[in-house]
Structure 1
Amino acid sequence: MSAEPDLASGGAPATRALGRLRRRAPAAALPAPAWSLHAQLRRRLLSLLVVLWLLAAGATGAGLWARTDEVLDSALKETAERLLMLPEAALATPDTAARQGMLRPHDEFIVYQVQDAQAGLVLRSSSAPPTALDPGAPDGVRPAGDWLVLTLTAQDGRRRAQVAETLAHRHAGMRAGVGWLLGTLLALLPVAWLAMDWLLRRGFDSLEPARRELAQRPLHDLRPLSVQQVPVELQPWLATVNSLLARVAGLIDSERAFAANTAHELRTPLAAARAQAQRLVQASTDDGTRTQAQSLLRQLDRLTGLATRLLQLARVESGVALQREPVDLVQLAVLVVDEFAEATRSGQLQLQVRGPSVPVSGDIDALGIALRNLIDNALKHGGSASQVVVTVAGQQLAVQDDGPGVAPALLPTLVRPFDRGPGHALQGSGLGLAMVDTIARQSGAQLQLQSPVADGRGFAAVLDFGSDTQPG
């Protein structure tokens, strides 16, 4: 009896459990919005400035208010004392309308009254009311209606002076002082904003040398960044970056060493197995056995080619093409074409040079892998009767064949690992053009594929080092 659950009949509990798991699963977190440290510091510093200014304005206003009250009350008292010191002759003639009319029109913010012992007015200012400002008030300052009145009585009790200031005038003066403080803040806020923005930008400009050094470096350059002439606050960050660069360099070196060691270890057993298969073919007297041995030999050849491509791909992906040195494309093409001696002798492979040689920046080993794969791809997939031409023209290295080619719609897929074209391409590993594309990007070049080339036939692959492509 089968122990497997019946999904058709008994799957309801599993479905409910799956539903509970889905409900419990947290929703995918949305990416955090980008924010600016410069803008945040500017806002916070300006907010701190405003708060400190308001606190300072409040404290200053309170002190100014108390001090102004003291000074103005002292002025009122001084005026009252002077009135009490007037001789009797000055008070003998009462203030009539005619005498008041002798004064020029003016704003009077402080008024006064002088009363005799019977509380009768003997002298008053032009704006003072005709009745007592604060009848029966004791000596001192106190508000009375719309006035702030200071009352002072002579020592002999025969004369009494009251000097007053409107509350509105005194409060207006106080508010004007505080308003100037706050108004100055409002006027300086835009200036403070611009000044802080300029100062912060100058501060963040100190990060620019390290950023520029890192941005302008080739990708293969993993040397530590310089910590000279950088702020103390930035040095821990740079030390962390340098530690990361050192770890990345170590990983790349380990991967390159692994690829090299693996290539060495795989070539020996594959070569030994191929030699045994060749002996088996030669020693076989039976046709069926010989056929099987030949099939085994072909599979070993294919396995050897695939292993070589995989190891090349591992080496390329580890960043070997990121190394930089001047490379002569003509010399490179001559060296690689010479490796295909049989195709060269038969005339199937030709080399053409157009114009003077222009050195490019790259790694000669990596570019050799790329050109070798392009030629091998053209010879293999162009057909035994095809003509393959390697052309060097300035900063371009092209490999073209007159074989059947591929459909234009398939060209973008050919640079994907293990993607093969139709027809003869089924015999390949699907790694050649993928490696060439990776090497081109790492070398700052661009791989351009074209098919058909002429008369509905042909395939061309061009490595263009004069393009604007940056190393990837």
Structure 2
Amino acid sequence: MSDSLGSLQGWSLEQRIRRRLLVAFASLWVLSSAVALYVVEDETAEVLDSALQEVGQRLLVLPESALRDGEQDALFMAIGTHEESVVYQVYGPTGAMDLHSHQAPAAPLDPDTRDGFRDVRGWHVLTLNRSDGKRRIQVAETRKHRVQLFSRILFWLVGSLAFVLPLASVALAVILRQGFHALAPAHAELSGRSADDRRPLSTEGAPDELQPWLASVNGLIARVGSLVDMERIAAAETAHELRTPLAAARAQAQRLLDVTTEETARRHAEALVRQLDRLTRVATRLLQVARIESGATLRREPVDLVVVARLVVEEFPEAIGSERLRIEVSGHPAEVVGDIDAIAVALRNLIENALKHGGKDAWVTVLVEDGAIYVVDDGPGVPAELAGQAGTPVRTRHHRRGRIGAGSGDHQRHRPAGRRTPRATVADRRQPGVRGDPAVLSRRAERGA
């Protein structure tokens, strides 16, 4: 079973079609050669028989003086040394041989004296008798000559296939490759799309044979798009529905905290408030993910990355107070074109991951430099084998040197802030720590983007 599956892997449709066409071409060539040989043999035999009849008729009307010279023996025609394929014999009224070609045998070519063609001892013999009975001629052609003639015809009919077949193979390869170029537009359109581009493939200009395939692909894209939309809608609705009861529960927990004076009960109430705040953040993040994934409301407008960085950093007052989080600005003005909310979501997630997974004593620096935002920490770093997996959707990795991933957060980091894919990297430096680059966007002013 595995052998049969392996034999189906890596095969070329172009080569398979070319081989089959060449086999069909060669088979048809041999078949047509056989038919042609049959027709040529029949027509050639008729022509050769007609030539024998013409020679015999000329010999029948020769004058007697051309046959004998007085009382001499029978004459024979000798024109140098050459190979004769046709010989003749001329007999007089007494049955004696009066004239013969120099390679004609002494015995009669055909013992039968009746008119007509007969094959006798390797000869194809024609016998003709004059109407007055005074002369009989026999004209013959060797069977070997006819066999050689037809063999040569067959050789050139079939043998030429050895020259034509390689040329046909090259021609078929060129024609098939040109034909398969009809797939190039669909391939280029698919390979050049982003992951969230679910537009149907264009069928304009595609051949009829490709239309069903394109229709199936477009149907699949539509079904996948419907499933993704349903998933996003469900996540957004779930998160939205959770926010109201979570807000009510937090209000009740906060009220309980305000009216409770017993120390143990207050600690439990504070823990409850923190957990409710965490659930609220998770629900908010789900809404953000659904919004970024859909791209329906993403805006393209000038964004000052310094302002975005400062606003997001201010959302972590505890880290700022303990000097674990700081912001640095260097380089040229960092104005880009994008969606400020999407950039803020990605940056907020990077800062949260750095504070959470970098270690309790790690410091985190948000660096705005030359049109990009970097989040750098001095934690234990990311192993090389895991750095390439950072940002994979819903991926969590644990390692003794640290852990990376935060579910939906990492997924957000790889989404474009302006509907174009940014560069998002996790670089493990020589010294401890990790630098995360959430977005590199085109500049609007100084570079004319």
What's the counterpart of residue 158 of structure 1?
A: 134
What's the counterpart of residue 393 of structure 1?
A: 369
Is the CA contact 2:87–2:100 (under 8 Å) kept in the aligned structure 1? yes
Alpha-carbon spacing, 1:86–1:359, altered in 2? closer, same or farther (3 Å): farther
CA distance in 1, matches of 2:55, 2:410: 102
Higher mean alpha-carbon deviation, 236-245 vs 295-304, is at: 295-304
AA of the residue aligned to 2:260: S
1:435 CA displacement: 3.3
Unmatched runs of 5 consecutive residues or more in structure 1: 1-25, 467-472
Q: Does 1:109 align with 2:114?
A: no
Is the CA contact 2:115–2:127 (under 8 Å) kept in the aligned structure 1? yes
1:265 CA displacement: 1.1
Q: Does 1:176 align with 2:141?
A: no
What's the counterpart of residue 462 of structure 1?
A: 437
**Deviation readout 1:144-177 (Å, 9 max, x if unpaired):** 1121111111111121111111101011111212
What's the counterpart of residue 421 of structure 2?
A: 443
What's the counterpart of residue 94 of structure 2?
A: 118
CA distance in 2, matches of 1:141, 1:349: 117
What's the counterpart of residue 446 of structure 2?
A: none
AA of the residue aligned to 1:301: D
Is the CA contact 1:373–1:433 (under 8 Å) kept in the aligned structure 2? yes
What's the counterpart of residue 405 of structure 1?
A: 380
Q: Does 1:267 align with 2:213?
A: no
CA distance in 1, matches of 2:110, 2:367: 114
Is the CA contact 1:419–1:430 (under 8 Å) kept in the aligned structure 2? no
Q: Does 1:40 align with 2:16?
A: yes
1:242-281, aligned counterparts within 5 Å? 242-281=218-257
1:210 CA displacement: 2.2
What's the counterpart of residue 45 of structure 2?
A: 69
Alpha-carbon spacing, 1:414–1:207, altered in 2? closer, same or farther (3 Å): closer
Higher mean alpha-carbon deviation, 160-169 vs 357-366, is at: 357-366
CA RMSD of superposed structures (Å): 3.8
Unmatched runs of 5 consecutive residues or more in structure 2: 442-449
1:15-414, aligned counterparts within 5 Å? 30=5, 32-93=8-69, 100=77, 103-308=79-284, 330=305, 332-340=308-316, 343=319, 348-356=324-332, 365-382=341-358, 387-394=363-370, 396-402=372-378, 404-406=379-381, 408=383, 412=387
Alpha-carbon spacing, 1:418–1:52, altered in 2? closer, same or farther (3 Å): closer
What SS does the corresponding residue of 1:234 show, helix, strand or coil? helix
Is the CA contact 2:332–2:371 (under 8 Å) kept in the aligned structure 1? no
Is the CA contact 1:224–1:245 (under 8 Å) kept in the aligned structure 2? yes
1:232 CA displacement: 2.1
1:282 CA displacement: 1.8
Is the CA contact 2:56–2:139 (under 8 Å) kept in the aligned structure 1? yes
CA distance in 2, matches of 1:271, 1:49: 79
What SS does the corresponding residue of 1:113 show, helix, strand or coil? strand
1:135 CA displacement: 1.7
Alpha-carbon spacing, 1:269–1:95, altered in 2? closer, same or farther (3 Å): farther
Alpha-carbon spacing, 1:357–1:55, altered in 2? closer, same or farther (3 Å): farther
AA of the residue aligned to 2:423: A
AA of the residue aligned to 1:81: Q
Same amino acid, percent of matched pairs: 43
AA of the residue aligned to 1:229: G
CA distance in 1, matches of 2:75, 2:95: 23
CA distance in 2, matches of 1:410, 1:116: 111
1:74 CA displacement: 0.9
- Under a length normalisation based on structure 2, what TM-score does the superposition of the two structures give? 0.82
1:214 CA displacement: 2.1
CA distance in 1, matches of 2:253, 2:440: 44
- Under a length normalisation based on structure 1, what TM-score does the superposition of the two structures give? 0.78
CA distance in 1, matches of 2:141, 2:334: 96
Number of equivalent positions: 433
Higher mean alpha-carbon deviation, 266-275 vs 55-64, is at: 266-275
Alpha-carbon spacing, 1:240–1:113, altered in 2? closer, same or farther (3 Å): same
Is the CA contact 1:310–1:431 (under 8 Å) kept in the aligned structure 2? no
Is the CA contact 1:112–1:128 (under 8 Å) kept in the aligned structure 2? yes
Is the CA contact 2:125–2:138 (under 8 Å) kept in the aligned structure 1? yes
Is the CA contact 1:450–1:461 (under 8 Å) kept in the aligned structure 2? no
CA distance in 2, matches of 1:29, 1:88: 85
CA distance in 1, matches of 2:360, 2:52: 120
**Deviation readout 1:192-230 (Å, 9 max, x if unpaired):** 111111111111112212221222222222222222222
What's the counterpart of residue 431 of structure 1?
A: 407
**Deviation readout 1:334-362 (Å, 9 max, x if unpaired):** 45335446655776533333333577787
